[in-house]
Amino acid sequence: MHYEEEYDIVLFPQTFYPDADATAKLMTDLAEFLVKKGKKVIVVTPNRSYERPNIKYPEFEIIEDIHVNRIKIPKLNKNNAIQKILLYYLFSTKAKRTLKKLNYKIALSILPPFFVAYKTLKVTKKKGKKFIFLLHDLHPDTLLRRKQVSPNNPLVILLKKHNKYIFQNSDKTIFLGRDQIEYVKENYGISNDKIEFIPNWARGLEENFIKKDSIKEKYYKPGFNILYAGNMGEAQVKSLEKVIKLTKNERLFANSVNLILVGQGRRKDYLMNIAKDTGNVYFFDYVHDFPDYQNLIYFADCYLVTMRNESKGMSVPSKTYYYLSGGKPILADVPVNSEVDILLRENNAGININNLSEEEAIENILMLKNNKEYYQELSKNARKAFENKYSKEVALESYLRVVETLL
């Protein structure tokens, strides 16, 4: 790596290309876009795949004119809480050390991972440079809401202290949801001039799309297929359990409504056990290949987004934007007035069953399946919302505007 080079911006994502998780896709898109707009970009990221830590990547390479510096990290399992914290800590410590040597104008860091934004902001302040904080998931607040940790836990106290410092000292904070902004204003305090609302985005389904009938044959069954593609961990388990039990209903089974769950997570085995006696709930492993993921979206009839009530104001599921790109209705079980609930109502692009009775939820799902005019209207609205608000081009132009105001 050439430390003498001056970079316009340094990005600190936990994952990056060739990883294919949501954050990796987003940060790769951002880096590629900024380079095309003439910015000098370096990405500092771990040298191991986040999802598959046995896979190692080169420690330095140039990808599409993006300089990628990968920090050596031991093989650690993100599904083990202690190992995950250690992974974040090691990345943050080495990221701080790397940043001290770099010549740059702006640093951009994300939460999660823990520690990284705080440590890189500290270095950036000392250097008199600019800092952008991108809030994906607000930890430890979300863990406190779920009662997974005690407010007296020393790590929780430390992370809350970090968050307050970051919100008050970053030059700009980018929020993914309007509910996040409301929560942070009430609980941490942040001046309006530092707030930027930029929703996440998705690559258009049609981008280099090659139809693969083999994906339809592998994942989908005859009937109406509802796709959930994502993590199956603590944050999702409560809502996914609810939808699985709902799908067991004999009316949905008789109408050939199928629930297709694709992904990994520490609660996947638990969910599979709940669904073991059903004939219309199917589980598959995470899809790592983007063309396969495109086809997964393409062949689904409807998409499922879930979020615990405790997660309102904490995060926004990134899969929502890929679902919108598919131009099919979204079935949501998310808190009322959360960002996903707001966008579904604003754009009439789906149904939120969060406050519905079981019978009402079933009626709504059957209406999606059996009322073609209603289904087509929501499908058209979803695609229109994607093109006008949540496409890669729209979101990245907003990022460019923020970057250029700080250069």
- Same-domain status, 274 and 380: yes
Q: Order of strands, edge to edge, in the sheet holding 103-111? A: 60-63, 66-71, 41-46, 6-12, 103-111, 130-135, 172-175, 195-197
Is 370 found in the same domain as 251?
A: yes
Q: Is the pLDDT of residue 379 over 90?
A: yes
HSE (side-chain half, CA atoms, 13 Å) at 244: 24
Is residue 146 very low, low, confident or very high in pLDDT (cuts 50, 70, 90)? confident
Write down the pLDDT at residue 1. Answer: 57
pLDDT tens digit sequence for 159-203: 999 999 999 999 999 999 999 999 999 999 999 999 999 999 988
**118 shares its domain with 145:** yes
Q: Are residues 181 and 317 in the same domain?
A: no
Average pLDDT, integer, range 307-328: 92
% the chain with pLDDT above 90: 88
Is residue 208 one of the residues assigned to a domain? no
Task: Indicate which CATH number applies to the domain containing 294.
Answer: 3.40.50.2000
Question: 22 pLDDT exceeds 90?
Answer: no
**Average pLDDT for residues 21-38, to the nearest whole number?**
94
Q: What is the mean pLDDT of residues 337-349?
A: 97
Same-domain status, 173 and 217: no
pLDDT at residue 373 is higher than 80: yes
The pTM of this model reads 0.86
38 φ/ψ angles, rounded to the nearest 5 degrees? 90, 10
pLDDT tens digits along 227-281 = 999 999 988 999 999 999 999 999 999 999 999 999 999 999 999 999 998 899 9
Which residue intervals of 227-350 are DSSP H helices? 234-247, 250-254, 268-274, 290-299, 319-325, 339-347
Tell whether 277 and 168 lie within a shared domain: no
Parent domain of 47: 6-201+391-406
- Residue 137 has a CB neighbour count (10 Å cut-off) of 18
Residue 1 within a domain: no
Residue 204: predicted pLDDT:
82
Could you read off the pLDDT of 4-18 as tens digits, one per residue? Answer: 789 999 999 999 999
Judgement on whether residues 256 and 355 belong to the same structural domain of the protein:
yes
80, 226: one domain: no
* pLDDT for 21: 82
Contact 307, 333 (CB under 8 A): yes
Question: Which residue from 142, 147, 186 is spatially nearest to 167, judged by alpha carbons?
Answer: 186
- 85 and 135 together in one domain: yes
187 lies in the same domain as 220: no
pLDDT at 68 over 80: yes
* pLDDT computed for residue 2 by the predictor: 62
* Residue 206 within any structural domain of the chain: no
Say yes or no: 184 and 220 in one domain. Answer: no
Structural domain count of the chain: 2
Mean pLDDT of 93-108: 97
Which neighbouring-strand residues pair with 45? 70
